[in-house]
Amino acid sequence: MKHSYMKSMVVACLATLSFIGFNATATAATNYKVVKGDSLWKLGKRYSVTIDDIKKLNNRQGDMIYIGETLAIPSKTKVLAAETTEPSTAAPANTAKPEPKPEAKPAEQETPAVSISSSEKDLLACLVEAEAKGESYEGKVGVATVVLNRVDSPKFPDTVTGVIKQVVGKAYAFSPVQNGSINKPASEDSKKAVEQALTRKDRLDDSIYFYNPKTATDNWIRSRAVIKTIDHHVFAK
């Protein structure tokens, strides 16, 4: 009798635990009042559950339901959420908005230290093109710098046009003016070289002469103090 009694108690406890577990799942449900036209099939389709799920939750054997009665509809989403007890190992989604990149500021154009007319800029660029064609950009800036240094010097005319078209003896000071090559259009590099020379950042130590030592025939020019050699030109003062 004692063993039989203990066996009955164990069975009862297991049944109770089973019932509690069922109720824990069953509590995740939605109460629904049946209206005309409803059926278990329609309710299962509406709530994404099976007919058997509804019948089990409501202790039903048959498929008949009645207008006005309240049925418990299992909620699959809630049940699954309740059953998930392990912490998620997935990395949290990065919801932070990326910081906007600072807009690149446009390069500021250097303010010329010397202001000349647009026509004089064009004339100087044409001279640079004729004198330093095939030379590096630095060489072109050097030629433009010599012209501007002459404008500043009391030994030469005080305008760009006056310096470029100056006559020395029976010829022009610059051979491109003499042979007409100054009338050819200037390249973009020559125009930019003029703009850079106007900033007066590097005045080549106030050089007022330049020459090609391979082609120069005037020995006097070779006697001038050499400041710098750029490509094929020697810059002197």
Closest CA to 68 of 33, 32, 31, 41: 33
Predicted pLDDT of residue 43: 82
Closest CA to 209 of 224, 199, 195: 224
Per-residue tens of pLDDT for the chain, all 237 residues: 444 444 444 444 444 444 444 344 444 678 888 888 888 888 888 888 888 888 888 888 888 888 888 888 887 644 344 444 444 444 455 566 667 666 665 555 566 777 899 999 999 999 999 999 999 999 999 999 999 999 999 999 999 999 999 999 889 999 999 999 999 999 999 999 999 999 999 999 999 999 999 998 889 999 999 999 999 999 999
Residue 13, pLDDT score: 45
In whole angstroms, give the CA distance from residue 51 to residue 63: 8
Q: 218, 209 in Cβ contact below 8 A?
A: no
Specify burial of residue 112 (Cβ count, 10 A radius: 0-12, 13-18, 19+): middle
Tokens of 100: 């906007």
- The closest alpha carbon to 183, from 231, 105, 234, 123, belongs to 123
Per the DSSP assignment, residues forming a β-bridge with 74 are 29
40, with CB counted inside 10 A (0-12, 13-18, 19+), is buried
User: Would you say the pTM of this structure is higher than 0.75?
Assistant: no
DSSP-assigned letter for residue 29: E
User: Tell me, what's the pLDDT at 119?
Assistant: 96
Task: Provide the pLDDT for residue 94.
Answer: 58
The continuous run of DSSP H or E covering 124 comes out as helix 118-132
Half-sphere exposure for 25 (CA within 13 Å, toward CB)? 14
* Tokens matching residue 60: 């039903």
